[in-house]
Amino acid sequence: MDTPPDNEKIRSGYVAIVGRPNVGKSTLLNHLIGEKISIVSRKAQTTRHRITGILTQDDAQFVFVDTPGFQTQHTNALNRAMNRGVTQALADVDVVLFVIEAGRFDAKDQKVLDLLPKDRPVILVVNKVDKLEDKGRLLPFLAQIAEKRNFAALLPVSAAKGRQLDELLTETRKHLPNPGLMFSEDEITDRSERFLAAEYIREKLFRLLGDELPYAATVEIEKFEVEGRLRRIYAAIVVDRPGHKAIVIGKGGATLKRISTEARQDMERLFDGKVYLEVWVKVKSGWADDDRLLRSLGYE
């Protein structure tokens, strides 16, 4: 039987995970929490919302905020909303995990680094060390980046393989300011099941279509009903053009069916119950520049 955390010894705080797009922030969050609450894709800009993941240990509660990769090239309403999410997250947190790729630091990374608050501890997380072919480059690379800021710590990790993550938590705990729990010990996210359902569908959309589908696509949950342990979910994939709709549906509806099936299986694992999922596609031209629609979809 698990022993509950000692609330008198526990420390807690908000921890932002930030970095340019596609450095592995969502993979890092999911491995730290032990559940897939932030969607993962090989495509940049997959994460569009702030997502809170909660990890409770015997002596600490980490409330992680996974942010969208800061957008420096696009200026539509969607990307402006995503960038607001990043800056708001930074204003509210106690510790920042600044994630970069091992052996790679460019102007996009520097722009994110320049945004980080000067009055918060920042831990440099050098991810994807397992993909660095010349391991001899790692120490000189760390020394080079260390000169850019007085980091609270520098840690090479592999989020995908779970390497050095315990050490990352140990370093992060040193900067948690609050005594006691902020959330109950069995919570892993403050996002609703409705929100997570939309994210799971969107993940499959990007994973299965690769480079065929532009980013002008999102998911809207039109109805979410709970009947005991059964959830009935009705969702629309919103695309920008009729041609995009044909891509999502696929020949004979095969692509849409696979998106729905794989998303439903993920939902059933997370929700621990049966899911009836109905998904269709609708066209709404210019949705990524429609501020009212973006707010209705949960973009801040």
Which residues are CB-neighbours of 175 under 8 A, at least 6 positions away? 13, 94, 95, 121, 152
**Does the annotation flag 69 for ligand binding?**
yes
Would you say 229 is a known binding-site residue? Answer: no
24 labelled as ligand-binding?
yes
Residue from 168, 143, 147 nearest 24 by CA: 168
- Distance, CA of 145 to CA of 150 (rounded, Å): 10
30 annotated ligand-binding residue: no
In the chain, helix, strand, coil percent, each to 5? 40, 25, 40
Using the Cα atoms of residue 162, residue 168, residue 173 and residue 176 in order, give the sign of their dihedral.
negative
Please indicate if the annotation marks 117 as binding a ligand. no
Task: Give the residue among 113, 130, 124, 9 at the shortest CA–CA distance from 59.
Answer: 9
Cα 271 from Cα 192, distance rounded (Å): 11
72 annotated as belonging to a binding site for a ligand: no
The answer on whether 26 is annotated among ligand-binding residues is: yes
Q: Is 17 helix (H, G, I), strand (E, B) or coil?
A: strand
127 annotated ligand-binding residue = yes
Tell whether residue 174 is among the known ligand binding residues: no
Q: Is 224 annotated as a binding residue?
A: no
Asked if residue 128 belongs to a known ligand binding site, the reply is yes
255 is in an annotated binding site: no
Residue 226 assigned ligand-binding role: no
Burial (CB count <10 Å: 0-12, 13-18, 19+), residue 32? buried
**Residue 21 annotated as part of some ligand binding site:** yes
Asked whether residue 25 is marked as a ligand-binding residue, the answer is yes
- Beta-strand pair 178-179/217-227: unpaired
> Which residue positions form the known binding site?
19-26, 66-70, 127-130
> Which residue positions form the known binding site for GTP?
19-26, 66-70, 127-130
